[in-house]
Amino acid sequence: MAASRYRNFLRLCEDWPLDKSKIGRDLGVVLREKVVLAFKHGEATNVNVQECDRMYESLHRINTNYYKTMYSRSGVITTGAVGIPVKDCSLIVSTEGLKVTQEEDTGFFRRLKKKLATKDESSSQ
């Protein structure tokens, strides 16, 4: 039984794209590491069948953009409540983009840092 589940996860890992712009934070890399840990003995690993199937189906839906196609937003080129184009969002969450935002201390990022610092101070008291 675990053999077919193991093969399903291996196929999922093969199909899952790697994002070179997110060094050390790529979901594809994390997925591969988790599969290695979960199936230490390969096809001979004992697994919780229901939990394994639930996880696989969830990851498969993410990988195939199930909900994106189910709730398509044709003609929309922005994402989220902020209305930033998808391309810009990808740049911001890339490793390089995060470095730039951490180095910058202006505008939105300064206000966000202040708000987070205030929250940390109030929660530690």
Higher-confidence residue of 1 and 94: namely 94
Asked if residue 63 has pLDDT above 90, the reply is yes
Q: Are residues 39 and 94 in the same domain?
A: no
What pTM value is reported for the model?
0.64
Given pLDDT bands bounded at 50, 70 and 90, which one contains residue 12?
very high
Residue 78 confidence (pLDDT) above 80: no
Question: Does residue 97 contact residue 88 with C-beta atoms inside 8 Å?
Answer: no
pLDDT at 124: 59
Number of domains composing the chain: 2
Structural domain for 14, as ranges: 2-70
Q: Taking residues 28-45, what's their average pLDDT?
A: 89
Same domain (yes/no): 57, 117: no
- 15 and 65 in a single domain? The answer is yes
Q: For residues 42 and 10, state if they share a domain.
A: yes
Please indicate, yes or no, whether residues 56 and 7 belong to a single structural domain of this protein. Answer: yes
Residue-wise burial string across 61-79, b where 16 or more C-beta atoms lie within 10 A, e elsewhere: eebeeeeeeeeeeeeeeee
Largest pairwise CA distance in the chain: 55
Predicted local distance difference test score (pLDDT) of residue 7:
92
**Judgement on whether residues 87 and 55 belong to the same structural domain of the protein:** no
The residues, ordered by sequence, that sit 6+ positions from 89 with a Cβ below 8 Å of its Cβ are 79, 80
Whole-number average pLDDT of the chain:
81
